Amino acid sequence: MKITREFIEKIPKTDLHLHLDGSIRLSTLIQLAQENDIPLPAHTEKDLKAKVFKNKYQNLEEYLQGFSYIGAVLQSESSLERVSYELAMDNIAEGVRYIEVRFAPQLHQHKHLGIINVLKAVNRGLYKAAEEFNANASVQTGQDVNFAYGIIVCAMRMFDYGFSEYFDALLDVHKHSERKWIFSLASQELVKASVEARDRFSIPIVGFDLAGQEKGYPAVDHKPAYALAHKNFLKKTVHAGEAFGPESIFQAITELNADRIGHGVHLFNTQMIYNEEIEDKQAYVENLAQYIGDRRITMEVCLTSNMQTIPEFKELKDHSFGKMREYGLSVTICTDNRLVSSTTITNEIMKAVETFDITAKELKNLIAYGFKRSFYPGTYLEKRNYVRKVLDVFEAVEKQFK
C-alpha cells in the first residue's frame, strides 16, 4: 500500500514531544501581544515568519529567540488556558489522538500567578478540548478513538535574571550560593509542586523533563530532582543529545533514570565525545545504542526542528533517525514546536516516510510506539485497552485505503 498524506491524516497519531509555548498559533501571539501592549518585531504573520519564525535558523540560540516574545504573552491564566485549548484542537483536526504537552511552569510564575494555578489553567484548556471532541458520535460509537492528553513539566538546566519573576526572586534570595545549586533547587521545587497538583487537584501531570541549554550545564546537576520524581512515580524524559553528544544521553539514562530521551540526535556522533578516558569512541556509541534498544528507552525524534538547528545536517537523510531504525530502537515522531518549526505531526511523518522509505508495516509500528511508550495518565490496563482501540481504528483506516 502506498502511504499518502491523506492516509496519515486519517490514522490516529501521537505527539509526545510538544512544547506549549513553541506551538502557539501565530495569530494568537499577535492578538495577545496587542492586548497586553507587548512589542513584537513585526505585526503581521508574514513579517513575523520572515524575521523570527523562519524555515531555517543559524543555530539553536536563534531558534530559541522567538520564545521570549511568546513567554511574554503567556503570563495569565486566561492566555495559558486559551493556547492550551487551541493547541489541542489543532492536533485533533489532523488526527492526533494523544498528546503530551510540555512546558516550564516556572517561566509563567509570578506574584499574581502561583504555580498550581499555572498548571490548572493549562489543564482547563486541554480538558475543554478533549471534552468537546470526545462527545462526537464517531468516538461514542467506536469509529474513532477518544482524544487524551498528559502534561509534562520542564525544569530548566540553567536560568538567569530576566527568565521570569520567579527565577529572579530565587536568584536574589540565594545570590551567595553556587548557581548550579540554585538550578537544582528550582528543579526540586517544581517536582514538589507538580506532585501536589497531580495528587491534590487531579491534574494529569505524567512526566518530568529537563530542558534548556545543554552544553555546559550537565543533567547530573539535577539528579536530586529526578530522584524525587522517581520516588513519586513521575515518568522521566530528558532533552539530551540535541546540542551535546552521546555522553549527555548516557548521563540522562544512567544518572537520571530517563524513560525517554528528547531528540537524542547526536547518539552516534563520535566527534562529540569529549571524555579522554573513552578510547574507543565507536565502541562507546555502539554499546550505548544497544543499551538503549535493550531497555526500550524511546527516542523522541523531531526531524524538522533538528534540521533547523543543526548546521551539519544538509539533507534530511543525514539525520540519525535512519540509523536509529537500523539499530531497532524504539522511536516516536514528534513536532517539538509547531509554530517555531512551522510543522505538524502529519508533515513530520510524511517527511520520514518519503526520506527513509518507511513501509506500511513499519509505519504501523512507529505509530504504535507513540501510544505504547507514552506516559498515559491511567492504569496499565486502561492504557492497554486504549492502545488496542487505537490499533483497531488504524486497521479500519488501512482497510479503507487498501
Task: Name the region of 373 (left: φ>0; alpha: ψ -120 to 50; beta: rest).
Answer: alpha
Grid cell, residue 311, equals 548546521
Report the C-alpha gap between 18 and 169 in whole angstroms: 28
CB 99 within 8 A of CB 15: yes
Q: Closest Cα partner for 194 from 116, 296, 78?
A: 116
Q: Which distant-in-sequence residues (6+ apart) come within 8 Å of 375 by Cβ?
A: 16, 100, 150, 152, 206, 207, 235, 259
- Residue that is written with C-alpha cell 530522584 in the block: 227
- Do 236 and 375 meet the contact criterion of CB atoms below 8 Å apart? no
The residues facing 148 across adjacent strands are: 98
Catalytic residue chosen out of the listed positions 214, 242, 247, 300: 242
Give how far Cα 307 sits from Cα of 183, 295, 313, Å.
29, 27, 6
Q: Are 77 and 127 in contact (CB under 8 A)?
A: no
**Beta partners for residue 263, in sequence order:** 240
Residue 295 near residue 335 (C-beta atoms within 8 A): no
Q: Of 295, 351, 293, 347, which is closest to residue 325 (Cα–Cα)?
A: 293
Sign of the dihedral defined by the CA atoms of residues 116, 119, 121, 123, in that order:
negative
Q: Return all residues near 371 (Cβ < 8 A) that are at least 6 apart.
A: 12, 14, 98, 386, 387, 390
The number of beta carbons lying within 10 Å of the beta carbon of residue 75 is 20
Measured CA distances, 220 to 106, 130, 178, 241 (Å): 20, 36, 15, 14
User: Is residue 40 helix, strand or coil?
Assistant: coil
Active site residue 315: no
Q: What is the 3-state secondary structure (H, E, C) of 97-119?
A: EEEEEEECHHHCCECCECHHHHH
Residues with catalytic function: 242
